[in-house]
Each structure stands twice: as C-alpha cells, then as structure tokens.
Amino acid sequence: MIGKILGDRYEIIEEIGSGGMAIVYKAKCKMLNRVVAVKVLKDEFKKDESIVSKFNRESQAAASLTHPNIVSVYDVGRDNDDYYIVMELVQGQNLKDYIRENPKMDWRQALKYAMQISSAIAHAHRNGIIHRDIKPHNIILSKDGNCKVADFGIASMNKNAETQRINEGIMGSVHYISPEVAKGKIGDEKSDIYSLGVTIYELLTGVVPFDNENPVSVALMHINQTPKAIKDINIAVPLVLVQIVNKAMHKDAAQRYQSANELYKALYAISNEPDYFTAEPETGSDAKNHTITIDTKTVREEMEKSASDTTEKEEIITESDFTEEPEQKTPEDVVKVDIDDSKERKKEKRKKGFLTDLFQVNNPKDKVAIIAAVIVSLIMIGTVLGIAVGVLFPGGGTSGDGEFVIPEFTGKNINEVTEEYKNTELKITIVKEFDEDTPADIIIHQNVPKDKKVKLPYEIKLTVSRGEREIILSSYINKEARQVELEINELGLTYAEKEEFNEEIPVGYVISQDPLPGEEVEDGDKITFVVSKGADNELVEVPELVGLTEAQAKSRLTDYEFVLGGIIRKPSNEPEGTVIEQSAPAGSELIKKSKITLTLSNGKKQNQDEDKPSSSDGDTTSENKPSTNKQSDEDTSVTVKKYNLALTLPEGKEEVEVKVVQDGETVYNKKVSTKSKNLNITLEGNGNHSIVVYYDDMLVKTQKIKI
C-alpha cells in the first residue's frame, strides 16, 4: 500500500495504526499539499456488501459532522477495491496511552476532557450518528491539550461484529461495552452514554471498572456486578462528579442521562461551581507569586471604566477548550492576576489615604469643618446602606466586615426567590430535577449552606424540583422476566404476566409488552408482559416412515409436526428413493418440532456375481473400472461423525446457561457449574457446519467447523 495513490490524489506515505476493521495510513493530499490520515477498509471486509454499504453511508454521514472535538472527515472514496476515508491528521496520542502515563491526573483535568468528549458525542447524536465504540483508544489528545473523538462511521456501521462477538477481535471494547450490548442488542444513544461513563471513570481513577483476562467474564461483569467506588480509588473526586458517572453507567438504560447533551450540562455545572474552581486568598509566605482564577467579564467592565489606569499588570487568556453549542453556555474566560503586585499597590494607596491629606491642612477651623462633614456623611451612608441591605437582601444581610450572609433558600418557591434577588449582585443558577416528594418550582437544595459569609458579587446554584417524573416505558422485550418485574416495581408500576409457547424467545424472557415501548404511563399503572414458556413440549408419537418414498415421508413428518433433520443415502436392494431407516423408531414419542433423519436407498446394491461380465469379453471387470457415478461415490461415503467442541466457561458466576446452536438447531442447552472452567460438548454431523454459542443468552462465539 505504501507509495500507492488513492483516487489520483492521496499518496500513501506510511502505516500509522490499525483497528478492528481498517488500517490507518499517513498520506499526502496532492491537490491541497497537506498531510492527512487515510483509513482503508481491511481486505476481509471488502467482499461483504452489507459492511461496504454501511461503511459508505455512515462515513458520508460522519463527514457532515463539524465540531472542534471531533476529528474532521475530509473525503470518502473508492479506488478499485480499496474503500477509504480521508481525515484530519491530529498530532498527539490517544487518550488510553495518556491515561497509562498519567493514571493519577487531577480530577479537574479529567472533567475538562469529559466535557469535550460528551459535547462531541452530543453533537453527533443530534445529527443522527451513534458512535457505538466510545473508548479512550478512539479519542486523540492533541498537542494543544484538546480531545478529538475519532472513528465515527466505522464503529457505528459495525453492528454485527466488534461489539457483539465477544471472542472475535474485540480489541479492548468489551471493557467499555454497555450491559444491553453485552446481551446482544444493537447499541444506541444510551449505550454511547454508558461507554462515555466508563471512559470518565477511567479518567478519574486510571483503571477500567471491570477487568479480566476472559472477555466474556468482563461482559458479564458489566451486566451483573457493581464497579469499585471511584472515591475508594481517588478520594479527591467530588461526590457530585461521582454521582454523574454512576448515573451515566447505570445498568438500566432508562435510568441513565436521557441524552449526551444532558450529561454535558451536568458536567458543565460542576465547572461553574465556585466551591471547586474559585481559590481562596492565601496569607503569609504561601501567597507570594500565587495566581488565582477570576471572572474576566467583571474585570473587563472595570477596565473600561478606568481605562486610564495603566498600573495594573494582567494577562488575559481565553479558554476555548470547550465546545460552543447553541443550547449550551460557553465557559467563562480566565484571567490571571498577580496578587503580590496588587497587594503592594493597595499598601501604597493606604499610605496616601484621605486622613493623611486631612492632617496636612494647616488651618484649624478648616480641619474642624472637614471632620464634621465627614462624620455627618458617614452617618448618612450607614443609614442608606442599612436600608439598602434590608430592601435588596431581605433573606440575608451583611456581617460586620461587609460580607453577605447566605439565607435559607430550601423550601422556597424559585420564582419568588429570583424576583426577590433579580437586581442584586447575587447571581442564581438554577438546576432542575424530578422529585416525586416535592411540588414543582420548590427549591430542594442549595450548593452553599445558609449562614455562610461570602463577598459579592457571588454565584449560588439552586436545585429546583420539576415535580413527579413522567414515566416513559422502555422496551423490555427479550429481557429476563424476573429482572423486568423488579424494574417495573422500582418505577412504581404494577407488573402483570401472561405465558405462551415461543420457539424464538428463551423460557422466562419477555415476548411482548402492553403498553408498548415509548408510551407514557402514570404511577400504579398495570404493565402486562407476555413471557415465553419456550417451545411447545407436547409429546407426539412418531409415525412409520420406512417403505415410503422421500416425498411421502416428508409429507408425513409435516403432518405430525416433526422436522426433517437430514437425509443419508445408502446402497440397498430397495428401489431408489425409498426410506429404509428412520432415526426415531415408529411408535416412540418425541417433542413437537423434533428433527428426524431419514436414510434412503440409492438402489445400487447388486449381486456381484450377476454384475461381473464374462472374462471372454476381454473388458476390464467392474472392480477395476473407474467409477462413473459420482453420486454413488458420495452417497456411500456419507456417515455421521462426532466432533468435540471445547469451551472455556466465564468467571464471576457460579453457574451459566450454555446454549449451542448447530446449523440453526439447538443441540445443547443446559445450566452448568463454572467450577470446572472448561466444558466439552460432543457434536454430530458430516461436512461443514455453523456453530453459535451463547452464555446466558449472550452471543459469545460463532464458528465454522468441519466434521
């Protein structure tokens, strides 16, 4: 591939990476004279029309994404049998490598990366694109310290491969897989949110929440186990950030954030939290050369008012790391002020204050007049300030040193509070959440406790109730009924169940639900689920098939609700096509839909003495003649053989239900103990067969075997 020119435009320079479905090359665009990255679909996928079609469709969709935290896609094309995507070449390293090198990064830095990634995913979701393979490996950390999400398109079109077939080249994705995808479902926006939560967990702790050498065990951990608490690994992480990650990683998709944008907003709220990001002034020697972060909007207003004052030394740095979405706030700029210099200036001003000038007045009468005027002015100012505090801050007030005392907001109506403080320097940020115990618009939490003294201007965050939550039903189809019952009860709904036979859905799993997924319900509503009883196990007597023709036997099997398992042909004196054996004897009983194999005569068995020609004919005897009947040779060689299927059982559970499907037929379905770690299953057949293995109804392996 090196040296090849794709589309008469992109000259391949070197290979720089390889993934599950594509190889990434560094290339030069001859038209624009710039270096780019070219991702080429691997050879083994080029002949799969469905993959190629999805590759083209999803790649073109990804090319429409324009976002500062998404790797830009410049072009999509095909050169003979080479399907490729041309992308921005980002100088840097992937986030996984960075985490390995910096396992104990500051949580504020992790928050910054988490905001950038969630903003990128939110942008993609709004444009109808699901990533389906979010992990640090697919996120590039550029040299300027910004995250860029890559592999849109390839991940989303690879629905039936990487994220579902746990044992086939998953390359680390199983550590970030959502529980529903681990169970074999197609990933959606909520699955992206779960994977994003796992990524943030790793940013904060330096480790993945679940790990094991066996990928299947890791997948089962996502379904059944709770990860180690973040604060047990990194005590410095604020509880509010821990709660955000836990919600994003909720095993029930319905309990996660409803969108990536909602997750972004939750993270952004922390970044605006003054208790975490506003440094308290230091005293003593520790304050020397210290830099604090303040709001530049206020600084700029003051600078405009006093443009002539050029003694201040300040450096303004615009923070543009975070994305700018129409519905999101843009994080405020950051200004750095040298405290040491400002303190010296204040000292100089104190030295040259008003009183110094006053006592330099020579005329005693003038001094008395000036002092009297000052006293009267101070009395008037104190009176006005007292009235102003009572009017502007009825619920709070100033302490003796001029600080504002935070009042009790919890339990008050947010509309009344905002009206009361709208013309003050107390800025109120509102966060709303559902609370079934609190009426709508009532404040249920304040991030700054009452009676705390703060200096104005100041920002406080108030959490306001949205009232009872609207319950939108999720899809419970193909879920285990007992788990569904628990989830329904937790939602305050009433669980009802009906049972019916079903060959497709395993015993105890939901076939359908009423009301349907997506419908709105109220507390106490009854939700009825139809649960599978498995296949109909009614016993049916096997009919006599020997002596019938092939067509007659097939018709008889259908009449008795049996399935033809296969046909074996053997030499026989019976007419060709006549049934000479059946795998289940007539009169025995089998479950409906059981398979019965028929053995048919090929009519080739003859008396060898009658078949031999006279030696006087001079012809070669039939024993020496090469066979001219190809069908006869093949028929006589067909026999049922055995094959040993060796399986490695997953860890983390005492027992697991193992199901093996051979050529579409379930040939093994049992619960087994995992203590032995290995399981050997004997299969029967002849020739090539397709094998599919499930652990607890989760697809873990597909295999082609020859018996």
Q: Which residues are catalytic?
A: 133
- Residue found by looking up tokens 């002539």 in the block: 308
**Exposed / middle / buried, residue 409 (Cβ in 10 Å: 0-12, 13-18, 19+):** buried
Rounded CA-CA distance 169/22 in Å is 13
* Closest among 692, 586, 691, 602 to 638, alpha carbons compared: 602
Structure tokens that stand for 91 in this block: 């100088």
Rounded CA-CA distance 14/322 in Å is 33
Contact by Cβ (8 Å): 417, 448 = no
- Residue found by looking up tokens 């031999």 in the block: 612
Rounded CA-CA distance 480/223 in Å is 12
Structure tokens that stand for 565 in this block: 């398992």
Determine if residue 274 is left, alpha or beta; phi over 0 gives left, psi from -120 to 50 gives alpha, anything else beta: alpha
Structure tokens that stand for 528 in this block: 């009825």
Number of H helices, E strands in the chain: 20, 34
Structure tokens that stand for 257 in this block: 């954030």
DSSP states of 425-443 as a string? Answer: SEEEEEEEE--TTS-TTBE
In total, the chain counts a number of residues equal to 707
Task: Reduce the DSSP state of residue 202 to 3 states and report it.
Answer: helix
Contact by Cβ (8 Å): 311, 262 = no
Structure tokens that stand for 604 in this block: 């080739």
In the chain the first and final C-alpha atoms are separated, in Å, by 39
Rounded CA-CA distance 150/352 in Å is 61
Determine if residue 109 is left, alpha or beta; phi over 0 gives left, psi from -120 to 50 gives alpha, anything else beta: alpha
Please list the residues that pair with 527 across neighbouring strands. Answer: 495
The CA angle 457-460-463, to the nearest 5 degrees, is 160
Rounded CA-CA distance 377/369 in Å is 12
